[in-house]
C-alpha cells in the first residue's frame, strides 16, 4: 500500500485526490491530509517538517518518502491509461520539474482557493483514508 499525504485545505490538492481515486483501479493508494493526526505522525516518522505543506507527498510501498514532482509522477505511474503515460516526464531532471511544481504550489491558493476545513471523504471513500 502506498500513502498520499496532501494539503487538506487546498482545493487543487483535494481535486487531485479525487482525480487519483477515480483513476486508481487497483486501489493502490490510501490518503491522509497532512493536517490530520495520521498525516502528522507519518511526516514525523519520515523526518519531514510537518509545517511544510506546499507539496504532495508519497510514501511508496518501498517505505520511501517522495515529494513534489517525483511524488506526483510516481503516483501517475499507477493510474489508468492514458494518465500513467505522464510518468514519462520523469526523464526530465528533478530540479527542472520542481521549478514548475513549486510555481504551481506557490500560487495554488490564489488560483484554486482554499477551504476552511479539511476534505471529508464520502462514505464510499472512507476506507481509502487513514
Confidence of residue 124 (pLDDT cuts 50, 70, 90): confident
Confidence (pLDDT) at 123: 80
Confidence (pLDDT) at 48: 87
Residue 121, pLDDT above cutoff 90: no
Q: Would you say 5 and 53 are in contact if contact means Cβ atoms under 8 Å apart? A: no
* 15-19, 41-45, 47-51: the lowest-pLDDT one: 47-51
Confidence (pLDDT) at 119: 67
Nearest to 114 by CA among 5, 6, 4, 7: 7
Amino acid at each position: 500500500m502506498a500513502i498520499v499525504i496532501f494539503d487538506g485545505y487546498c482545493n487543487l490538492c483535494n481535486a487531485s485526490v479525487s482525480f487519483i481515486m477515480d483513476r486508481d483501479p487497483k486501489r493502490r493508494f490510501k490518503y491522509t491530509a497532512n493536517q490530520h493526526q495520521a498525516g502528522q505522525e507519518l511526516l514525523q516518522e519520515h523526518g519531514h517538517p510537518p509545517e511544510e505543506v506546499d507539496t504532495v507527498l508519497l510514501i511508496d510501498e518501498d517505505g520511501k518518502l517522495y515529494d513534489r514532482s517525483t511524488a506526483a509522477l510516481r503516483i501517475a505511474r499507477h493510474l489508468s491509461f492514458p494518465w500513467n503515460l505522464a510518468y514519462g516526464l520523469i526523464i526530465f531532471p528533478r530540479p527542472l520539474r520542481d521549478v514548475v511544481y513549486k510555481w504551481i504550489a506557490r500560487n495554488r491558493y490564489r488560483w484554486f482557493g482554499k477551504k476552511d476545513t479539511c476534505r471529508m471523504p464520502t462514505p464510499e471513500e472512507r476506507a481509502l483514508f487513514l
